[in-house]
Amino acid sequence: DQQVKQNSPSLSVQEGRISILNCDYTNSMFDYFLWYKKYPAEGPTFLISISSIKDKNEDGRFTVFLNKSAKHLSLHIVPSQPGDSAVYFCAARAPKGAGGTSYGKLTFGQGTILTVHP
């Protein structure tokens, strides 16, 4: 049962344009959502997160939007840069004792390969 889904395996964007990466989830107990960026043969690096009590969080070029009613979140990158090319994973966390085995356990989506062309 895939509780976190990223339905677009890849996305190609022109430099300077906006990149929008989408993520859907099914578990209403998730209370915290995160986006990670990953290069091949490296561990994921944290990008930005959002609590379920908010609907938007912004950090520089990165903005995450959360629509709880739709169980949907998205990551906007603007303007996109070639260095942003990587695999982006969304992840969700359930509170301890509410479907999660421990604080910090994350469920990841399948990832979206973002390619930003110069």
* Residues at the interface with another protein (CB under 8 A): 32, 34, 36, 41-46, 49, 51, 89, 93, 101-111
Please tell me the distance from the alpha carbon of residue 25 to that of residue 106, in angstroms, as a whole number: 12
Nearer to another protein, 18 or 103 (CB): 103
Measured CA to CA in angstroms, residue 15 lies from 20, 78, 115, 116 at distances of: 13, 9, 9, 6
* CB 31 to another protein: min, Å: 9
For residue 94, give both structure tokens: 């359930």
* CB 93 to another protein: min, Å: 6
Contact between residue 111 and residue 40 where contact means Cβ atoms under 8 Å apart = no
* CB 89 to another protein: min, Å: 7
* CB 16 to another protein: min, Å: 28
Nearer to another protein, 79 or 108 (CB): 108
Please tell me the distance from the alpha carbon of residue 79 to that of residue 72, in angstroms, as a whole number: 22
For residue 111, the Cα-to-chain-centroid distance in whole angstroms is 8
Nearer to another protein, 13 or 48 (CB): 48
Nearer to another protein, 7 or 14 (CB): 7
For residue 60, give both structure tokens: 């520089």
